Amino acid sequence: MQDAATDPGQQARRSWMAVLARASAAELEDALAECGERPEYRRLRGPEPGLVMVRGRIGGGGGAFNLGEMTVTRCTVRLADGAVGHAYVAGRDERQAELAALCDAVLQGGRPAGALHAAVERLQAAQQAQRDAVAAKAAATRVQFFAMETWRGGPGA
């Protein structure tokens, strides 16, 4: 039995859930519209806003510390075919959380989700391009400091 870290299905789901969590409600609406008729679903939980504690690590690997609280909205839906979708999104956008949960359910359910997979891949590419643009802008302003060793004395000193 594979654990979630090595299961390809779980890795794919983790990837699309990250994309869905960062996509806006309008982008999710557009992605679902490409799939044709929206499936019937029922809310199991939420959407409901709440707080989570954000933790950090010194230097990325040091001791953990509480950085602060962050508002998130969660939602869980069930499709008519039984597939259950979950979503947690940053902020208080309840529609975004509901649509992300619906997309998660469709992507893992028995319905043909090829069009939605393609839409999520386009969203992922757009999000990566935006991250690359921010990184390039930051890299352009990067200052490199270096120290010069002072040479003392002459030959043979």
Element (H, E) at 137: helix 114-140
Query: What integer pLDDT is reported at residue 61 of this predicted model?
Result: 81
| Mean pLDDT score of the chain | 87
Domain spans of the chain?
Answer: 8-122
Query: What integer pLDDT is reported at residue 111 of this predicted model?
Result: 58
Q: How far apart are CA 126 and CA 130, in angstroms?
A: 6
Query: What integer pLDDT is reported at residue 10 of this predicted model?
Result: 86
**Cα separations (Å) of 18 from 88, 110, 125?**
9, 21, 12
For 56-96, write each residue's pLDDT tens digit. 888 878 889 999 999 999 999 999 989 999 999 999 999 99
